[in-house]
Each structure stands twice: as C-alpha cells, then as structure tokens.
Amino acid sequence: MGSVMDRPGFADLAGRIVLVTGASTGIGAAVARGFAACGARVAVHYNRSAAEADTVVATIAERGGEAWVEQADLASPAQAAALVDRVARRAGGLDVLVNNAGDLMWRGAVADADAELLQRLLDVNFASLVAACRAALPHFRARGRGVVINTTSIAARNGGGPGVVLYGAFKGAVSTLTRGLAKEWARENIRVNAVAPGTIATPLHDRLTPPETMRAIVATIPMQRAGTPEDCVGAYLFLASEQCSGYITGQVIEVNGGQLMP
C-alpha cells in the first residue's frame, strides 16, 4: 500500500475523513487501502463480511494507516443514513463519501424477477445510496466542502450483461443521480462524480458469473483481460483530490480496459 509519499499527487487527501461502503472485499477494499495509503482516515463498511473487513483494517494498520470497521445492512436506506451519521460523529466530520456498495444478487430474465427481488435490488443499488448522500449533506455543509464518489457500472451504458438488466437499470439511475446532484450541490462546494468499472475480477463475479460467461465477456475487452480492483483505485483518488480534480463534477470515469468507449 505504501505511504502518503508514495502517492505525491494525492497528498491533499492526508487527514481527510473517508467512508467507503462495501469495503470488505473487491473494489471497495482496494479503494479503502488506497485512501489510507494517502493518509486519509477511512471507515471500512461491511454488511456480512466481518472477517474480511477486519483484515482490510488490519492491513491498513500494519502499514501505518488509520481505519476502522462500520457495519450496516444497505438493503435498508435507514441504515445507510445512520451509517453516515455514525461515521461523522465518531471521526468528527466527513470529507469524502464513496458509495461503492452494490450487488448483482441474481442472474435471470426481467420477466422472472418477483417484486421482493426488485425491491431489494432497488434498495441496495440505489435507494440506500440516495439516503447516504442525503445524510452526508449536513456534514459537508458543516465543513464548507465535500466529495461524493458513486460506483456505477459499464452496465449503466450497455444495458447489462446476460441476466443483469435490472442491475444495469439501477446503475443507470446512479449515473443520472450523480449528474443531477452535481448540479444541485456545486454552489455549496460539494463535488459529485462516479466511477464506472467494467468487468472486474471480484468475489461478486466469482459468485454469480459462470466461468464460460466470464471468458466470453473478457474476449470483448481490447486489453484481453478482466480488470482488478487495484485497477480502479486511481480513479477514486483522482476524483477525491481537490488538487487533481477540483474543477471536475458531474462526471463518470469509465474503467473498463476499452470494453466500452463512450
């Protein structure tokens, strides 16, 4: 992970209070480690993966960083809002909110999705993100600035891969919300951007994407490989850094190995 000096372009992140949701594994874990490497104070959120979240925090601590775990079930927007408030109270404020938590949950045809599944997909991938943003606003106002970075997806632009149309639809809503909030909050010195990962090798794909489907997807990527969580980290740090992106808001950075070039 290295020290702050290993990432001189992001030195202004030192001391910033950062909440990363869905940070026990995959992209969120890598992003949490990346912020800590820059000297940020990082709240590592998890839902069920307590041991994995503890490992992320332990790794950060071993390398001289500061992090702690926070649990919440983001199938509940109320818990999402409470999580943000809890982190701000514990740390004495909030500077950066990374809304990374999300889940494919299921692969299947839209016609086969029942109302319960639809509601859970909505809550986890969109409603809780909205709740977290709303809860962060007063904490940003108290500091006179703030940064929101949402994790959307390549699926927001291409309609999703086989059996994940609903996931793609809600990620499309995340991208639209990102642009809309950027307009609403710009005058309050709050920047809102998003990162759209493509096909990234994470536990989510291990759980829900058959190997043959993954091979077929990778074959469409010009760089001829799936991405890694670490491939995504720089985009989040860039968007959080005022010195690197202080005049950037309402944007979605695509990280997909050339799979989609909008």
Annotated catalytic sites, by residue?
Answer: 167
Count Cα neighbours of 219 within 13 Å in the Cβ-side half-sphere: 6
C-alpha of 79 from chain center: 17
How many angstroms separate the CA atoms of 142 and 96, rounded?
13
Phi/psi of residue 258, each to 5°? Answer: 90, 5
165 near 110, Cβ under 8 Å?
Answer: yes
How many angstroms separate the CA atoms of 170 and 197, rounded?
15
Give the single-character DSSP code of 200. B
How many angstroms separate the CA atoms of 41 and 21, rounded?
14
The candidate with the shortest Cα–Cα distance to 184, out of 141, 241, 244, is: 141
Give the single-character DSSP code of 124. I
Strands (E), 66-203: 66-71, 96-99, 146-151, 190-197
What is the secondary structure of 139-181 as a DSSP string?
HHHHHT-EEEEEE--THHHH--STT-HHHHHHHHHHHHHHHHH
Contacts of 61 (CB under 8 A, 6+ apart): 67
Amino acid occupying residue 211: P
